[in-house]
Amino acid sequence: MTDTRLRAGGRRLLLLCLWLALLPACQFAGRRVPDAPLPRRGAVVTEHPLATQVGLALLERGGNAADAAVGAALALAVVYPQAGNLGGGGFALWVPHGRPDAAEALDFRETAPRRLEAAAFLDEHGQVDREKALASHLAVGVPGTPLGLEALHQRHGSLPWAEVVAPALALAREGYRVDPWLARDLLHPTYRERLEACEHSRRVWYPRGEPLGEGRLLRQTDLARTLESLATRGAAGGFYRGPVAERIVAASRAGGGVIDHGDLEGYQVRWREPLRGWFRGDLVLTMPPPSSGGVLLLQVLGILEGFPVESQRARAQADPAAWVEAESGLDERALHWWIEALRRGFADRAEHLGDPDFHAVPLEALLSADWIAASRVAIGERARPDLLPWAPPAAEGGGETTHLCVLDGRGNAVSLTTTLNTSFGTGRSVGGAGFLLNNELDDFALQAGSPNVYGLVGGRANALEPGKRPLSSMTPTVVLAGGRSARLVLGSPGGPRIITAVQQVLVRHLVYGQSIEAAVAAPRLHQQWRPQATFLEPHWPPGLEAALEGRGHQVERSRQRWASVQAIALEPGGEPRVASDPRRGGSGGVVGRPPSVPSLPGEL
Ligand code: DON
């Protein structure tokens, strides 16, 4: 090539970079869409049909989205012990109709006990002992759920507290029939071993040495007593102090843990500003740190906004059936952009994200137009498995979870994710109080660079410190049409796959116009920087590996499907459409109609 041609090529590249960098700003201008209408009726979606029924019944009694979300979350603590909980934590978004500035993010994430040090998790070779990190009382974070649910209700609910707790209490006291998913999970060797290691868990889930079978009536009298205490004395007096607190401390002490009364009495929820970002004329509200989910979601959407993803849409609309079934509208170039955007976000997660009360998270820089533009420009036609996390300019110095959504008839939305971390948490129950304890502290980078149960690595930003919250991937999200009224409410379990699942459902629905049901059912991919490989669910078309490998991606097709997105989308006419992921046994419904029939294990 001559010098002139090289210079011309360089100029063209520079112009292309400028165009890519400026594109989103141009797209934001003047693209506000008219208000979405009020929902014609309220809607609820959760991972258990009984919890969905509880939420719908509370809406029918005149409750709002906060009442229904709290009632459903408490019901999940009874009927969905894999993830529903009193002994865990989570996050929720409250988004009132038409007032996005009044939206709030509630952080009820567990905290590290004051007397716990990371060294407690190391074995004699100085390596993280995975059993200690997942199945011992050391792994237990100070629970946040009781105070969190109470705080959400106190601030935004409208029904009396006791009325909101009552349905869960009835389910615990009078019992419910074990569903096929719980029966299946109780047979899982890892969970069985963890649960059976605790006499209190064993007594509930493996009476007479056998797992509870499908259809068996399960009454949980100890749990009912704890819920009663919560209903009558509130969280501070009925859980964090008094007999329940005594039992938590005794269980911890007996099991080699360090949670004490000071930890319980000192626990506080945090009300935080949600992260806000515009995407194609809609306002995305999502969870700030200590979740990484919202940061990554906005980074990835920001990057994708500047790519010509529209061109794929025309093909999708030309033949929607083929698009849904065979993915023919999403070519490998678009997927390459998804993957590379995710890789960049996850690299920064490992380096920079942690509890903002303990670590200065460079949030502004990570969500800045500069970061987004630089990342987009750096994405070429080939995979970049070797990329390193963003470094601040030298001058500035460095299982199982569950999600539920409610949209009430007044247009208020709650998006709530809660967890014990892996299924059934540590498997350890609090004797006499009837609830399982989380193993959330494995979400810390217990040792720099040493992967946690999801293969996530981290360093100083997410190191364990007394009182600190471990970094999370939970991504409760609400999208407001034109920045005003709820258009899409969604979230998921799945560890880091939460982030990729939420991103993909959101993009499929908002960009490619797929129905919410199709977007939730569609195959997913996952990329989290380390390991370098991109994982594909089984149902992608067969040629996809070769196409992505041709761009330098390392690809692994999984035999399993993952995550369990729960979503409510509002149709232009105001009819809510509810999608509970067919990968799991959840159920969604609208007021006045029966909830959807859950999938069975092995169906998908
Ligand atoms: O907070 C987190 O990111 C994890 N503890 C969530 C765990 C999870 O989603 C497991 N679910 N399948």
Whether the per-residue pLDDT at 35 is higher than 90: the answer is no
Hey, whose CA ends up nearest to atom 8 of ligand 1? 495
Whether the per-residue pLDDT at 482 is higher than 80: the answer is yes
Furthest CA-CA distance within the chain: 84
Identify whether the C-beta of residue 495 lies closer than 8 Å to the C-beta of residue 439.
Answer: no
Distance of CA 516 to the CA centre of its chain: 18
Mutation to probe ligand 1, out of 353, 419, 528 (largest number of atoms < 8 A from CB)? 419
22: pLDDT confidence band, cut at 50, 70 and 90?
very low
Whether the per-residue pLDDT at 479 is higher than 60: the answer is yes
Determine the Cα–Cα distance for residues 377 and 553; give it in Å rounded to an integer: 18
Ligand 1 center–CA 33 separation, angstroms:
34
Catalytic residue, chosen from 111, 401, 417, 477, is 401
> How high is the pLDDT of residue 2?
36
Distance of CA 437 to the CA centre of its chain: 19
Distance of CA 145 to the CA centre of its chain: 15
187: pLDDT confidence band, cut at 50, 70 and 90?
very high
Ligand 1 center–CA 140 separation, angstroms:
14
Mean of the per-residue pLDDT values of the chain = 91
> How high is the pLDDT of residue 339?
97
Place of tokens 């209490």: 169
> How high is the pLDDT of residue 249?
98
Averaged pLDDT for residues 561-565: 97
Active site residue 401: yes
314: pLDDT confidence band, cut at 50, 70 and 90?
low
Give residue-wise pLDDT tens across range 564-601.
Answer: 999 999 998 999 999 999 999 999 999 999 999 999 99
Whether the per-residue pLDDT at 10 is higher than 70: the answer is no
Identify whether the C-beta of residue 300 lies closer than 8 Å to the C-beta of residue 477.
Answer: no
Long-range contacts of 230-234 (CB under 8 A, 24+ apart): 230/86, 230/146, 230/150, 230/165, 231/161, 231/162, 231/165, 231/166, 231/169, 232/162, 234/150, 234/161
| Percent of the chain at pLDDT exceeding 90 | 85
Give this prediction's pTM: 0.92
Ligand 1 center–CA 286 separation, angstroms:
16
282, 312, 323, 506 from 512: Cα distances, Å: 15, 8, 10, 9
> How high is the pLDDT of residue 16?
44
Identify whether the C-beta of residue 426 lies closer than 8 Å to the C-beta of residue 194.
Answer: yes
Query: Is residue 220 lining ligand 1, measured as CB closer than 6 Å?
Result: no
> How high is the pLDDT of residue 238?
98
Determine the Cα–Cα distance for residues 450 and 504; give it in Å rounded to an integer: 28
